[in-house]
Amino acid sequence: MPLESVRAVADRIRRLEIRGARNVAIAAIRAMEALAEEAKGASGEELLKALSEAKGILFAARETEPLMRNAIRWIISQALDRGGTDARALAEAISSASKSFLKSLEESKDSIAEIGARRIRDGFVVLTHCHSSTVTEILKRAKADGKRFEVICTETRPLFQGRTTAREMLEAGIKATLIVDSAARSFINYADLAIVGADAITSEGNVVNKIGTSAIALMAQEARTPFYVASELLKYDPATAYGDYEAIEERGPEEVWDGAPEGLIIRNPAFDVTRRDFIHGIICEEGIISPHSVTEVVRRRYPWVFDRPSP
């Protein structure tokens, strides 16, 4: 099977045309649905081989994407359980598992928005970093609930995703201020709350998010500004429970300085790790939980996550 849809989506993820952990996972799930469609006429053996290849291609697109990996693993395990080796049954199982995963992602987003919006009070200033669709959903829900508040967005070098957040806020009728990343320390004192998204949550309750997040968490601690992370529990990476470190994607130097002098070393990690001690709470579909309890909560709610993952 040619796997065209899967390759095309993986390319778009790699080039950051699709970004944000949720959007990446959704696009990958849709690619699996497309694969099931394309499988008409293929044998069970061909489809099983294609599934394994598709998984490899999608996993390799970006490395710090446990939500996508959990989703793909779950869909494949459902397909194998329900479809066996029959091509048609396998394709149907992939398609229905994909739909049900997408539905549960929507439900989680809705719960997180409802719970997170309650943390925002009238008159609040909320600081956020980068662009997280989970965070913007909370802010839009708070606005829909009639809260009056404003948002400070860091621009988020080098790719300026903060501009996306700022634009989205304006479109939602929310007052927004954009600052350069290095102004965060000057503005954290005006903030009543900081909320950021997550790309990955480790077994120790540490959070991997866009580079610069951990500095903001430190500042928030010093300024006594509560710092929250908004995330689906399925951004939990089970591999960290088995001893692996979460991989931190390092991107190309041209994103930082295109045309830099030859010989200059440029480092461009996409993410950093915020220790759990700096996080007031993780706003997730289960409620607001302590990062210390995340492994127990995931184990109770999504026990399959801990099925020893194939690499």
User: Interface with ligand RI2 by CB under 6 A: which residues?
Assistant: 19-23, 130, 132-134, 161, 196-199, 209-210, 270
Rounded least distance, CB 140 to ligand RI2, Å? 13
Q: Is 284 an active-site residue?
A: no
CA–CA distance, 238 with 305 (Å, rounded to integer):
6
Q: How far is the CB of 130 from ligand RI2 (least distance, A)?
A: 4
Determine the length of the chain: 311
Q: Which is nearer to ligand RI2, 47 or 120 (CB)?
A: 120
Q: How far apart are CA 116 and CA 288, in angstroms?
A: 8
Shortest distance, position 19 Cβ to ligand RI2, whole Å: 4
Nearer Cβ to ligand RI2, position 21 or 126? 21
- How far is it, in rounded angstroms, from Cα 60 to Cα 68? 11
Q: What is the distance between the alpha carbons of residues 246 and 68, in angstroms, rounded to a whole number?
A: 14
- Which residue number, 141 or 210, has a Cβ lying nearer to ligand RI2? 210
Percentages helix, strand, coil for the chain (3-state, rounded to 5) are 55, 15, 30
Residue with Cβ nearer ligand RI2 (66 or 197) = 197
Q: Which of 153, 181, 199, 237 is catalytic?
A: 199
Largest CA distance in the chain: 62
Task: Establish whether 122 is a catalytic residue.
Answer: no
Q: Is 296 exposed, middle or buried (0-12, 13-18, 19+ CB in 10 A)?
A: exposed
Nearer to ligand RI2, 81 or 107 (CB): 107
Q: How far is the CB of 132 from ligand RI2 (least distance, A)?
A: 3
**Which one from 130, 153, 181, 237 is the annotated catalytic residue?**
130
Q: Which is nearer to ligand RI2, 133 or 274 (CB)?
A: 133
CB of 286 vs ligand RI2, minimal distance in Å: 16
Which residue's Cβ lies closest to ligand RI2? 197
The whole-angstrom distance between residue 284's C-alpha and the CA centroid of its chain comes to 12
Dihedral angle sign, alpha carbons of residues 275, 280, 283, 287: positive
Burial (Cβ within 10 Å: 0-12, 13-18, ≥19) of residue 262: exposed
Q: How far is the CB of 268 from ligand RI2 (least distance, A)?
A: 12
- Distances 310 to 74, 97, 161 between C-alpha atoms, Å: 12, 19, 33
The set of catalytic residues is 130, 199
